[in-house]
């Protein structure tokens, strides 16, 4: 029997495999989430996320310099807000001298080429741990949008390149875009968390910022009234198309690997850049398995991120960005 077509011919050695490789992961694909806290010359490890730290601003700047030298060109900023600065409206989020605003200024001053993408949401600033303002036991969508506009304009004024609203309020992209235009920040982009699911994979992140919903019988116990139901697929396309119509420049899908069907479906539908968030729970699972010797850490990092890109991502937000950059540079 003669086999005329043998796919293995193109797998026979590393050089041939490289020539026909269809998906290539580079440092240009990576965005590093960064946790910033008050103080000086301090860092705190996050037990559920080995290798990840909360850092004071001075050490955050050094980390950004190192990331940029490795080829990572984007950082996504989150603040660990002091309890005394939290309220129901998130007013600290638009303080022009707030930690987030100062972090943006410091990073842009030290690493002008770094694309700084601050998170836009109220949960780190909220006494309730929710992304929105609580009124009558519910999330007040429209009042929250007004607060998000104030926050967005403040972050744009501090020097942010791209804003990343992760709150999942209806209509917030249009509200933020209007606020930016009216404020003269026409060049500031919006990376919208369009398809953000109410996922159990966010746990380590929430412990890092103490941003989980607080135990209180008078407020929603979770974020399912605004984040998407993980049972749904078509709804993601509806969310994406609405955010594009409202002025989003980049679309985010979150989480990553458990939602690659959504990434692929959105990629087939739109031409805008797609960001995918390889979230804290995904990172924690990989690290736990590697520490137990159940898989190879380095190989699993590169494989998992390449799979996300193969599904259609243009950029990947990942806590493994620094490790991946070192591996890719090698």
Please tell me whether residue 13 adopts helix, strand or coil conformation.
coil
Q: Which long-range contacts (CB under 8 A, 24 or more apart) does 271-275 make?
A: 272/244, 272/248, 273/249, 273/314, 273/315, 274/250, 274/312, 274/313, 274/314, 274/315, 275/31, 275/191, 275/250, 275/251, 275/313, 275/314, 275/315, 275/316, 275/317
φ, ψ (nearest 5 deg) of residue 328: -65, -35
- The residue annotated as part of the active site, out of 86, 254, 287, 309, is 254
In this structure, the number of other CB atoms found within 10 A of the CB of residue 104 comes to 24
Tokens of 121: 């949401």
**254 tagged catalytic:** yes
CB contact at 8 A, 190 and 118: no
- The residue annotated as part of the active site, out of 196, 223, 265, 322, is 196
**196 tagged catalytic:** yes
Tokens of 158: 């501090």
- Catalytic residue annotation: 196, 254
């Amino acid at each position: 029997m003669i086999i005329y077509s043998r796919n293995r011919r193109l797998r026979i050695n590393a050089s041939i495999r490289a020539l026909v490789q269809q998906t290539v992961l580079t440092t240009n694909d990576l965005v590093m989430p960064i946790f910033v806290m008050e103080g000086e010359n301090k860092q705190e490890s996050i037990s559920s996320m080995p290798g990840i730290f909360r850092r004071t601003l001075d050490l955050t700047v050094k980390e950004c310099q190192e990331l940029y030298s490795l080829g990572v060109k984007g950082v996504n900023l989150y603040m660990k807000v002091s309890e005394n600065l939290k309220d129901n409206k998130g007013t600290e989020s638009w303080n022009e001298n707030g930690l987030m605003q100062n972090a943006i200024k410091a990073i842009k001053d030290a690493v002008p080429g770094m694309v700084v993408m601050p998170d836009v949401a109220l949960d780190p600033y909220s006494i309730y741990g929710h992304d929105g303002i609580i009124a009558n036991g519910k999330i007040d969508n429209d009042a929250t949008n007004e607060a998000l506009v104030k926050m967005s304009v403040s972050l744009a004024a501090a020097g942010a390149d791209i804003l990343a609203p992760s709150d999942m309020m209806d209509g917030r992209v249009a509200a933020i875009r209007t606020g930016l235009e009216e404020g003269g920040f026409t060049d500031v982009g919006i990376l919208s968390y369009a398809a953000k699911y109410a996922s159990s994979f966010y746990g380590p992140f929430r412990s890092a910022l103490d941003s989980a919903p607080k135990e209180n019988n008078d407020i929603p116990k979770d974020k399912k009234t605004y984040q998407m139901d993980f049972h749904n697929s078509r709804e993601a396309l509806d969310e994406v198309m609405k955010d594009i119509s409202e002025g989003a420049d980049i679309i985010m899908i979150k989480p990553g690997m458990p939602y690659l069907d959504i990434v692929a479906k959105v990629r087939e539908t739109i031409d805008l850049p797609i960001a995918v968030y390889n979230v804290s729970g995904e990172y924690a699972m990989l690290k736990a398995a590697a520490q137990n010797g159940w898989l190879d850490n380095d190989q699993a990092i590169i494989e998992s991120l390449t799979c996300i890109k193969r599904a259609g991502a243009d950029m990947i937000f990942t806590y493994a960005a620094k490790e991946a950059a070192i591996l890719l540079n090698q």
